[in-house]
Amino acid sequence: MTNEAITAPAHLATGRTRQILTAGAFFTFFVFGFVDNLKGPTLPALLRDLDFSYSRGGTMLLGAYFGFLVATLVTGVLADRLGNKRILFAAGVLLTVGIGLFSRSSTFGTLTLAMSITGLGLGAIEVGGNSLIVELYSTRRARFLNLLAVFHGIGSLVVPLYAAQLLLRDFSWRQVYSFALVLTVALALFFLFVRYPRAAGAGTGGLNLTAVRAAGFTPRMLWYYLLIVVYVGAELGIAAWIVEFMQQVKGMAVGPSSLYLSLFFAAIMVGRLVGSVLVDRVGHLRIMLLAAVGSVLFLAVGIYGPPVLAVFVPLTGIFFSIVFPTTTAAVSEEHPVNTGAILGILFAAGGLGGALGPWLIGVANDLVGVQNGFALSILYCVIMAVALLALRRDGESATR
């Protein structure tokens, strides 16, 4: 996405039209959180129903995040040319096709393809939803972007409860997915018919690729990319496998294990509220380092401790909450020029982490058991701490 598109809103919407579009953006992120986290509570039922291994389950998740990664790289450019309305309409269509195909498939290849299509839709929402808010608000932008993330959190929080209630009433995992089509169809229809005025020539600014390459691929930025890869891998790995872990290792039933997934996202939401007060006071890199260390300790206790301490796993969300937005803030402050393009690379790195993190845990579950496989999330957090230590050292040496 061009830096001009990030810093110079080209939208002409005012008053009621802007309110409607803002509500639409919030709805897209609710759908984002809801659909993206259908996997965790339904995965155990799917694996048992189709007699799939954990490796196959992890590979299906890999397909979803491969689609997400591709979408984050492509849709930024397309949004500049076509407008965010078309991107978000396409997101609704892709989600509808992906979920519809997934809920009706039984073969591994078709299910993985369906997950990839769904991932394309989710990636389009990530770019289109954020870009729409940036277009609509030249002031109070940070406030509305944070509200956007809250709606993602609400969707993530609701979906485990929704899925658990259906599964407990003997609905199949296919029906859990099928009922979600109501949301994706509504998303597509909203952006098909909503009025969306744009300024002539909006988003036609150029991008200095040489400058982006020079600023975006320094040794320091590579540490940031590693940080975001392992962070997203840890967060989405926990979200995808916590229900199975709680059932297989801690002996929980469907209801309580799904509740732990909701608790994980609730902890992330609470952590963001608290973290918004502390981040600037403590310092970006320092508070993230403390969060990484806290995550290692909480995960180790929750995974290897007795069942009564399993609650420490979802409570790790308190520490996870600040990492992604604080990394984004730190990178933005260090790169006031070509910010949008560099953040696009950062988000693509996050997509890579989302693809690899859950997949590697699934493979490890087959090789070393669910408990030790799930413990890969601890390793991810250790690597986070290493990257943050390197960034702090680099920053200290640069100021001498």
DSSP string, 9-47: --B---HHHHHHHHHHHHHHHHHHHHHHTSHHHHHHHHH
Burial-class residue 245 by CB neighbours within 10 Å (0-12, 13-18, 19+): buried
Which residues lie closer than 8 Å to 143 by C-beta, 6 or more apart? none
26 close to 34: Cβ distance less than 8 angstroms: no
The CATH T-level fold of domain 1-207 is Growth Hormone; Chain: A; (1.20.1250)
pLDDT on residue 3 = 38
**Region label for 83, one of left (φ > 0), alpha (ψ between -120 and 50) or beta (otherwise):** left
Please provide residue 105's backbone torsions phi and psi, each rounded to the nearest 5 degrees: -105, 155
The predicted model scores a pTM of: 0.73
Per run of 10 residues, the mean pLDDT along the chain (length 400 residues) is: 39 74 94 91 90 87 84 73 86 98 94 95 87 74 68 87 90 95 97 76 55 83 96 93 94 89 88 76 89 97 96 96 82 71 79 88 93 97 98 74
CATH 1.20.1250.20 domain extents, the chain: 1-207, 209-395
CA distance 14 to 375: 49
pLDDT on residue 37 = 86
Give the number of residues written for the chain.
400
3-state secondary structure of 140: coil
pLDDT on residue 7 = 40
pLDDT on residue 14 = 66
CA distance 219 to 305: 38
Strands (E), the chain: none
Q: Which CATH superfamily is domain 209-395 in?
A: MFS general substrate transporter like domains (1.20.1250.20)
Write out the DSSP string of 328-378. HHHHHHH--SSHHHHHHHHHHHHHHHHHHHHHHHHHHHHHH-HHHHHTHHH
CA distance 377 to 190: 38
135 close to 145: Cβ distance less than 8 angstroms: no
pLDDT on residue 338 = 66
pLDDT on residue 204 = 45
Which residues lie closer than 8 Å to 179 by C-beta, 6 or more apart? 166
